[in-house]
Amino acid sequence: MTTEPRRLRNYINGEFRDAADGRTTEVVNPATGEAYATAPLSGAADVDAAMAAAEEAFPVWRDLVPAERQKVLLKIADAIEARAEDLIAAESENTGKPLALTRSEEVPPMVDQIRFFAGAARLLEGRSAGEYMEGMTSIVRREPVGVCAQVAPWNYPMMMAVWKFAPALAAGNTVVLKPSDTTPASTALLAEIIGGVLEELGHPKGVFNVVCGDRDTGRLMVEHPVPAMVSVTGSVRAGQQVAESAAKDVKRVHLELGGKAPVVVFEDADIAKAVEDIAVAGYFNAGQDCTAATRVLVHESVHDEFVTALAKAAADTKTGQPDDEDVLYGPLNNANQLAQVTGFVDRLPAHAKVEAGGHRVGDKGYFYAPTVVSGLKQDDEIVQNEVFGPVITVQSFTDEDQAVAYANGVEYALASSVWTKDHARAMRMSKRLDFGCVWINTHIPLVAEMPHGGFKKSGYGKDLSAYGFEDYTRIKHVMTSLG
């Protein structure tokens, strides 16, 4: 007896709907490689309907006093907390992530981030009034931008959805959100939760909408004339296409496009502690994190010691099924991603050495062993390009200047870390590293109050923090005659 796949739906104007033309796509559990659901493959009619709903709801939502929007967000945070186990199950099915780690490392930050932006809703302010021309008073208004088209990635479907909708709604915008075509399940559940709160409190149904689909669906959203802003987390190629398309209507664009974080370990670092923390920060979520600690630069005097210890840490790191509480990470998200990671390792140059891992695990699902590769050169493909898998590369450097040159010598500029006991050196490095975040003697912690976002081909705009909130606003100058 076979079980019928679960049917996921779009959420438009307060209603769950199939795609207008009935098209669907299979949703696969990466831990098993088997389809467990279908989701709408949305087309132009679906995007039109979602945008119309968001556009109609915008004036009402915009004109609410901030305290009312705060109340909604706080209620959403409470509702997510109450439905945590359902969301954890959906997210694990989406991604194959360990249940225990999703429970401890994702849901609490999500709830905290929503509550942070609930507070930010009441700080939608401009500069104080002043007279800058005789007989005239100027004030600055900070306003929401309008309808926001948002595209979330598959590596953190729930959390990235929060990073997008929470600041947008707090600032007074309305939202049309598209999850990745491989991970729509938890977003559909978020729509149920958020829609329930909006309905309970009597707010417009079109404030929050979810449209499922593929790249073409996303393209239709970006090209649509209604959105005033497009926010995308994804690949550099996707970001370039979005920016080019949005430029035709001069839409505001917010992009987070990946990273290749350098992890600079100096000779005076606590090597044992560095190895322990870097292994976790490199392999967590199967390395499918734009800030993952996967490009290590180690001073030549401690290089061999570090590589030996990291290879042992990799051998001690476990990947496996979501219900195994001993695993650090689950599978890669999809078959294409498994092929990409495998390809990087298969194409390693002759001078590279696989110190640990370097192979698929099992024949069911998309699991890949924790991997360490040494002997690399700066211009090697695996050093320059984002692998987005559980693969940590190690290079050696001779001095601080060479470390900086190697660290900055990639097209990405999202995150980085420095490991040293020398405070002055840590401060110099934090200035010289060309990345949106520099951690010192740690790697990967994030808090709602601090900004996350990169430079160069890692994109522009900030997530989290007051800066992320302000990205979803516009500035208006108002001048009045005192006469």
Q: Which residues are catalytic?
A: 256, 290
Regarding beta strands 295-299 and 208-210, do their DSSP bridges make them parallel or antiparallel, or are they unpaired?
unpaired
DSSP single-letter state for residue 301 = G
Q: In the structure encoding, which two tokens stand for residue 316, read together?
A: 């001690």
- State how far the alpha carbon of 261 is from the alpha carbons of 106, 134, 277, 281, 392, in Å: 21, 52, 14, 11, 11
**By three-state DSSP, how is residue 121 classified?**
helix
> Do residues 227 and 382 lie in contact, with contact meaning Cβ atoms separated by under 8 Å?
no
The two tokens of residue 55 are 């556009």
| Type of residue numbered 238 | A
CA atoms of 94 and 187, how far apart (whole Å): 10
Tell me the C-alpha distance between 127 and 144, whole Å.
Answer: 16
User: How many angstroms separate the CA atoms of 262 and 432, rounded?
Assistant: 13
For residue 23, the Cα-to-chain-centroid distance in whole angstroms is: 28
Closest C-alpha among 407, 387, 294, 393 to residue 352: 393
Tell me the sheet residues that pair with 391.
Answer: 371
- 154, 183 contact by CB (below 8 A): yes
